[in-house]
Amino acid sequence: MYERYAGLIFDMDGTILDTEPTHRKAWDDVLGRYGLRYDLQAMIALNGSPTWRIAQSIIELNQADFDPHLLANEKTALVKSMLLDTVRPLPLLEVVKEWHGRRPMSVGTGSESVLAESLLNHLGVRHYFDAVVAADHVKHHKPAPDTFLLCAERMGVEPSRCVVFEDADFGIQAAKSAGMDAVDVRLL
């Protein structure tokens, strides 16, 4: 099915790893400390964005005076401590295993690299990927194409010969902007 592609790129959160419930719990805990609220639908619309961008949206919604990077760091620290015990692979990881060694593969995620590397190593799946490109590796995040373009570069594959597996609208848009085909895993 994916034979025509020279490189496969996978989003991480919600695509190959079931991290979303833990991310939500961490946001609930951190925001609860400050009496802040968030709009779940608005947060879902930001899936694939770096944590600081989500924090900025929450701060704006609450008309609060917080540093989005500090709030994001607090949430990331909490989620990291929680995820290693709660995260599970999603069924799409079987596609990764099936294509391992047959095509270069990478992860392009909106999570920070320390979190992505920790999770992938903890689950014993990091070795499947030639590269992991995270939020702190690029200046322009999804929906900009930079994450996926850097994945292609690190795999040594032309962007037009890559397919991206994504679960978020921002990620689908980023793949298309990069000149790549995209598989919306929500439709699988």
Residue 169 buriedness (CB in 10 A; 0-12 / 13-18 / 19+): middle
**Distance of alpha carbon 108 from the chain centroid:** 6
Catalytic residue from among 11, 13, 146, 167: 11
CA distances from 45 to 2, 90, 95 (A): 28, 21, 26
Q: Is 28 known to be catalytic?
A: no
The residues annotated with a catalytic role in the active site are 11
